[in-house]
Amino acid sequence: MHGLHLTAELYGCRCDRQLLDDAGALRELCLAVCSLPGLTPLAEVFHQFGSDSDPAGATGAVVLAESHLAVHTWPESAAVTLDLYVCNFSQDNSSAARQACGQLIAAFAPSQLVQRELQRGIPADQATGSPADHAVSGD
């Protein structure tokens, strides 16, 4: 159960509009960034909102052997939310999770970013500190 949970809210995304509008493009990106650092996609589901002629965002989830990735887009606000959790049962997957999350953030090119890291599966009497919050503004 011990693992790393990464979340991010991306605002003012300056990426190709297709990444925000098209579930197919979002799917390709998500599978690519999970596979590169060595995470193992097992299944996925992506949903297109709106229609082909008038897309209104997408949402998707990738079930990983290590846990999951969920991404939701709001093209009308140029915004995205990311949620990536990896368990560290048989090996520490934290580096792979951070790499995948970093690649997703880079692909969406936000002008503002709020990231959080939460260590999960650590009993309260063994935990130290609080979750890390990082707000970053782009140029």
Where in the sequence numbering do the catalytic residues fall? 67, 72, 87
Residues 89-121: tens digit of each pLDDT: 889 999 999 999 999 999 999 999 999 999 988
Three-state SS across the chain?
Answer: CCEEEEEEEEECCCCCHHHHHCHHHHHHHHHHHHHCCCCCEEEEEEEEEECCCCEEEEEEEEEECCEEEEEEEEHHHCEEEEEEEEECCCCCCHHHHHHHHHHHHHHHCCCEEEEEEEEECCCCCCCCCCCEEEEEECC
Residues 65-94: tens digit of each pLDDT: 999 999 999 999 999 999 999 998 889 999
Q: Are 33 and 104 in contact (CB under 8 A)?
A: yes
